[in-house]
Amino acid sequence: MNWFERYGIPGFYFIFLPAIFYWIIFGFPSTQQNGLAALALGVAFSASIPLGYILVIFGQLIYYKISPWRVHREAWKKAGIGGEKEEWLVEANATILARLECSGKIERGRWLQEWFMKRFDVLAINSALMLATLIGWVLYPLGLFFKPEQRVVNTTHIVDFGLISLFIFLILCFSTHLLTKQAKYIATAYYKALKNESEEMSTDTT
C-alpha cells in the first residue's frame, strides 16, 4: 500500500464527514457561494494527506499505548520467548530475532512478511478512521454554535448522520478485531518457528 492510500483514505474520510455535517447545519451553498465553496473544498482536499498522516501517527500512538488490539505482545508471550510488556519493545525484539539471528527462516517466510505488511496497513487505516470518527463526534457538533439564527437545523438528518457514522465505526471495530485475532494466531506460529531456529543455531555453535 502506497503512502497516498495509507494517508489519503483517512484524510479524505475526515474531511468528508464535516462537509456533510456542515451541509446539514448551513444547507448547500447558493449559486453566489459556489466559487467560495469550490475554493474551500480545494483547500480541504489539499490538506487531506497531511491530516491523514497526523491521524495515522495518533493511531499508532494509541495502538502502542492503550489499544486492546495489539498483536505482538500476546503472540510473543504465547510463543514462550520473553516477558516484555511493551508492544514496541516486543516488535523491535521480534525484528532483531528475525533479521539478525534467523535470517534463513525469514528468507523462507518472506511471503509471510508481505502478508503482515498488508494486514498492518489495513489495521493502521482502520484505527485512523475510527479516530477520525471519534474526533468528529466531538468537534462537528460545535458547528451548531455558529449556526445563523435564520437556519433551521433538520434534526432528522443529524440523527441519520450520527447513526451512519456509528455503523461505520462499529464495522471498523469488528474488522479490526477479526484481523487482529488472525494476525496474533499467525504471529504466534511464526515466533515459535523463529524461536526453534534460534535454539537450533545456538546448539550448533556450542
pLDDT digits 0-9 by tens, 159-192? 777 888 889 899 999 999 999 999 888 888 888 8
Q: What is the mean pLDDT of residues 85-100?
A: 77
- Higher-pLDDT residue of 77, 44: 77
Residues with Cβ within 8 Å of 108's Cβ and at least 6 positions away in sequence, in order, are none
pLDDT tens digit sequence for 59-83:
888 888 887 778 888 888 887 776 6
Q: According to the model, what pLDDT value does residue 153 have?
A: 61
Mean pLDDT of 82-110: 69
Q: Give percent of the chain with pLDDT exceeding 70.
A: 68
Locate 2 and state its grid cell. 502506497
Average pLDDT over residues 5-23: 79
Task: Give CA–CA dist 8/113, Å, rounded.
Answer: 24
Mean pLDDT of 40-64: 81
When pLDDT is averaged across residues 196-203 and rounded to a whole number, the result is 65
Q: 102: Cβ–Cβ under 8 A, 6 or more apart, which residues?
A: 194, 197, 198, 201
pTM of the model: 0.75
User: Grid coordinates in use for 43?
Assistant: 483547500
Residue 170's pLDDT is what? Answer: 93
Q: How far is CA 33 from CA 36, 131, 200, in A?
A: 5, 31, 72
Which range scores top for mean pLDDT: 18-32, 128-142, 174-188? 174-188
Asked if 105 contacts 112 with a C-beta cutoff of 8 angstroms, the reply is: no
**Across 20-49, average pLDDT:** 66
Distance (Å, whole) CA 79 – CA 43: 49
> Residue 153 has which C-alpha cell?
437545523
Tell me which of 144 and 150 has the higher pLDDT. Answer: 144
Beta carbons within 10 angstroms of residue 124's beta carbon: 20
For the cut 90, the answer to whether the pLDDT of residue 156 exceeds it is: no
Lowest mean per-residue pLDDT among 5-14, 72-81, 100-109, 164-173: 100-109
